[in-house]
A and B are shown apart, each in its own frame.
Chain A
Amino acid sequence: MPDARGHFGPYGGRFVSETLSFALEELEKTYQSLRDDPDFQAEFDYDLAHYVGRPSPLYHAERWSRVLGGAQIWLKREDLNHTGAHKVNNTIGQALLAKKSGKPRVIAETGAGQHGVATATVAARLGLECDVYMGAADVERQKLNVYRMHLLGARVIPVESGTRTLKDAMNEALRDWVTNVDDTFYIIGTVAGPHPYPLLVRDFNAVVGREARKQSLEQIGRLPDALIACVGGGSNAMGLFYPFVEDDEVAMYGVEAGGDGVETGRHAAPLSSNAPRGVLHGNRTYLMSDESGQVSDTHSISAGLDYPGVGPEHALWKDVGRVHYVSANDDKVLEAFRELTHMEGIMPALESAHALAHAKVLAPSMRPDQHLVVNLSGRGDKDIMTVAKLDGVEF
């Protein structure tokens, strides 16, 4: 647990302009009063079961495991959730908080669009007004999700400033929130941002790890030897890892976006490239920035991982060595994307393909009686245009 002011060791905290302090204190109070409230939990669990479709299966990718010739690979199928990714767990939770707070409008930031779609979905269901900020570069590369959000009744606002990606969308969402703080609930999509967001997003996504733990015991007969998940802000990894943190025998790997390779500087891998500590978007964490403290441009084939920072609890886990943070380059990610699609008939999101790319590295170094759980955080439908473009296919 973070300390009373939301610090995970030296990370986290609440670094925001004064106008937002009140809203964050209010949110913290609301959440504290509901966190252990059985009625709230029951409502959340009901929605996860009947609206999201949980529990998601733990699937044994037998054919791919055999081909790789090492550990047994299991996929936690978050891609089968309603809206197609783990993001919906958190938006269901935060939408309940928005409802309890009596705010008629929600806003969100999104990179690949998965969080935007999940937010637009819950907003449609609850009859809330919904605006989603999205970097203009991401609007371009994620047209399908932009259209999905429009169909759901949300407004998508392209952000032209900065690098025109996820971090700029988050800046713009914060500006909106400062201006409309009286009637607007900001649904943050990852385990970053000011306290209490890293805590509550973790709590809402931890259902992934709780299920995976139970399913492992039932289907494997013991806990897995290793977990792998991709890390942008780090919400799906947090969700899978958190319920296993005390299980020292379970190794954990967080896979960041290596882009063209961390040595080229064109990447989005603050932890595995040893970026300095910094403060952005309300929390202290590892943050890619230059010597003057200007936030660096990032690069990734996957819009959802294209972020220069990472959630503060991941920063702490790096320091204490609980999780190994590595990176996968774009070319290896595409290779893993194609391989899983061919061998298992499952098309992963490019984000999740980062985790799969590391599974390809790790599995062959392990024995066939060892078990690896990979978080398949989302499905690849949204990325078909990106892959098609690389294949020279036009529609």
Chain B
Amino acid sequence: MNRIDQRFTELKSQGRKALIPYITAGDPAPAHTVGFMHALVEAGADIIELGVPFSDPMADGPVIQKACERALKNGTTLAHLFDMVREFRQADATTPVVLMGYLNPVERIGYEAFADKAQEAGVDGVLTVDMPPEEADEFGPILKERGLASIFLVAPTTSNTRAATICAHGEGYLYYVSLKGVTGAATLNAADVAKRLAPLRDITSLPLCVGFGIRDGATAAEVAKVADGVIVGSALVNRIAENADTPETIPGQLTAVLAEMRHAMDALSS
């Protein structure tokens, strides 16, 4: 069983919701990322989304865009990313890792080579922001053969027909984008999210995780009431940005943000 499915099975039996932090790999420099990943797990992360830095992150707001710029300026490559996951796996064999990014870096090294390297490094899932299921005919099966989950986005603008197609292709979990807009945009409306998640429950058994607009314990808890998981990115990446000159202080900062969310979410189930 894929580590992602395993993790959701465990969480379900415990009556808990998944906390899924996102950081951009190599931000502020490649040497720090593995340490950050371990800190996130200690603070209560269930799954880690590791961003693949890209020169043109069109679906992201300025916070993650600048994280990509820092990572690339400091020489982060896809090869580094696989090394990071490999190193992370030496001390952590259970926390699922999802690579999240854009298609061009994958196209450049080739679908097969990318999937081979990801599997070998210990990656569990892949979310390609600009690859909808209609364009995944070739890549999808290649990931599946290697036991890597294809994770897809559903947006507030997604029609029910399209949502059904996306669910049919999706594995691991469904990433529900809570807002129209880019990452790090305005605060989400939990009631709207609940309204949108309900029909998705009827068409899929995939865990529904919600991202975009989650910034603190209160918003995380609101969302955790209706979703199976909470994804938090810009709130963490902001802390990395603010402390990029003193990277040794960053793990403590990340832990503080995440622990507050973990606490607020777990308070729901207790």
Contact = CB atoms under 8 A, between A and B. Distances in A.
A160 to B, nearest CB: 10
Could you say which of B103, B130, B182 has the most chain A C-beta atoms within 10 Å of its C-beta? B130
A174 interface: yes
Contact of A171 (B56, B107, B134, B181): B56
B157 A167 contact: no
Contacts, number: 122
B189 to A, nearest CB: 15
Interface stretch (B38-46, B83-91, B147-155): B147-155
A175 B155 CA distance: 14
Could you say which of B65, B105, B154, B156 has the most chain A C-beta atoms within 10 Å of its C-beta? B105
Could you say which of B57, B78, B132 has the most chain A C-beta atoms within 10 Å of its C-beta? B132
Contacts of B77: 292
Interface string B100-111: 001111111100
A-B residue pairs, 10 tightest by C-beta: A293-B105, A293-B108, A17-B59, A22-B157, A179-B181, A19-B155, A18-B153, A18-B155, A294-B55, A293-B104
Contacts of A292: 77-79, 105, 108-109
Contact of A282 (B79, B130, B158): B130
Contacts of A287: 104
A171 B156 contact: no
Could you say which of B72, B104, B156 has the most chain A C-beta atoms within 10 Å of its C-beta? B104
A14 interface: yes
B78 A293 contact: yes
Contacts of B203: none
A15 B153 contact: no
A13 B135 CA distance: 8
B54 interface: yes
Interface residues of B, number: 43
Given A292-B78, A294-B105, A19 B177 contact: yes
Contacts of B155: 17-19, 21-22
A15 B56 CA distance: 13
Given A179-B182, A181-B157, A289-B108, A162 B55 contact: yes
A293 B107 contact: yes
B104 A278 contact: yes
Interface in B43-74: 54-59, 61-62, 65, 69, 72
B200 interface: no
B102 to A, nearest CB: 8
Contacts of B54: 293-294
Interface in A1-50: 5, 13-23, 25
Contact of A174 (B58, B131, B156, B180): B58
B107 A18 contact: no
A179 B180 contact: yes
Contacts of A182: 180
A281 interface: yes
Contacts of B104: 278-280, 287, 289, 293-295
Interface of B: 54-59, 61-62, 65, 69, 72, 77-79, 102-109, 129-132, 134-135, 152-159, 162, 166, 177, 180-182, 185
Interface of A: 5, 13-23, 25, 161-162, 167-168, 171, 174-175, 178-182, 276-282, 284, 287, 289, 291-295
Nearest to B76: A292
B156 A19 contact: yes
Given A16-B132, A17-B153, A21-B162, A178 B105 contact: no
Contact of B132 (A15, A161, A181, A280): A15
A17 B129 contact: yes
10 contacts: A13-B135, A15-B135, A19-B181, A161-B65, A161-B69, A171-B56, A175-B61, A178-B182, A289-B108, A292-B108
Contact of B107 (A161, A174, A278): A278
Contact of A15 (B103, B108, B154, B156): B103
Nearest to A15: B130
Could you say which of B77, B79, B157, B182 has the most chain A C-beta atoms within 10 Å of its C-beta? B157
A287 B78 CA distance: 18
Contacts of B57: 171
A295 B130 contact: no
